[in-house]
Chains A and B, each alone.
Chain A
Amino acid sequence: QVQLVQSGPEVRKPGASVTVSCKSSGYTFTDYSVYWLRQAPGQRLEWMGWINTDNGDTKYSQTLQGRVTIIRDTFANTAYMQLTSLTSEDTAIYYCARGGISMIGTTAHGWVDPWGQGTLVTVSS
């Protein structure tokens, strides 16, 4: 079955960086994009960016531009998200998710499914 498995929890000090991995299985990795999202305590879900796993093109949230980098390894069917210059406000559960497109009539509609299990990143001094 389609599955995205993320790396384990991380604890970092303010100013440090963190990298979270996301290994996909059960489908052709390069046929779908990979999204990264996060959920901070008490906050709504936040989209961070996505990567076209076929050609490596990326799109990032402007609020995180310059701090977030998403890459992929097509041989390992794995995507990676690096976030730098961490502050306590980056404490959150980080999710990767498969992004796809379905045609309804002549219109392409995006969807995001399934999601990885989530990775808790804690930023604390």
Chain B
Amino acid sequence: IQLTQSPSFLSASVGDRVTITCRASQDIGSYLAWYHQKPGNAPKLLIYAASTLKSGVPSRFSGSGSGTDFTLTISRLQPEDFATYYCQQLTTYPITFGQGTRLEIK
């Protein structure tokens, strides 16, 4: 299953609301997770089951969608949110990831 994220690159300011989209090549139900990764660090889980926030993740993060179209929204960007974001599908082997969305400070 191919996952395509858009945009691949996003420039935004602290306090902005941003949305990242992940489109699957076939129906994956709600078996989608979102991660973020900062340079030199491992990815960290933000959301699983498309919209369930991992415990401890700030509520400014939210996820939605099912089937083939999913979104990750950050309501008010904080300085620590500038990172690369990945979606991941866990419905079918091989487990696959999107190509990533790099979120940078404007």
Q: Is the CB of A113 within 8 A of B90?
A: no
Task: Name A110's contact: one of B44, B54, B90, B99 (CB within 8 Å).
Answer: B90
Tell which of B41, B44, B49, B86 touches A113, judged by Cβ atoms closer than 8 Å.
B44
Give the number of residues in A that approach B within 8 Å (Cβ atoms). Answer: 24
- Residues on B with C-beta less than 8 A from A111 are 33, 45, 48-49, 54, 90
Residues on the B chain within 8 Å of A45, using CB: 43, 86, 88, 97
Out of A63, A102, A115, which one reaches B43, CB within 8 Å? A115
Contact with A along B21-39 (1 / 0, CB 8 A): 0000000001101000000
In A102-121, the 8 Å CB interface with B consists of: 102, 104, 107, 109-118
Segment 84-125 of A: residues with Cβ below 8 Å from B: 95, 97, 102, 104, 107, 109-118
Query: Which of A47, A59, A109, A112 touches B30 (beta carbons < 8 Å)?
Result: A109
CB neighbours (8 Å) of A110 from chain B are 31, 48, 90
Q: 3 tightest A-B contacts by CB?
A: A113-B45, A115-B42, A109-B49
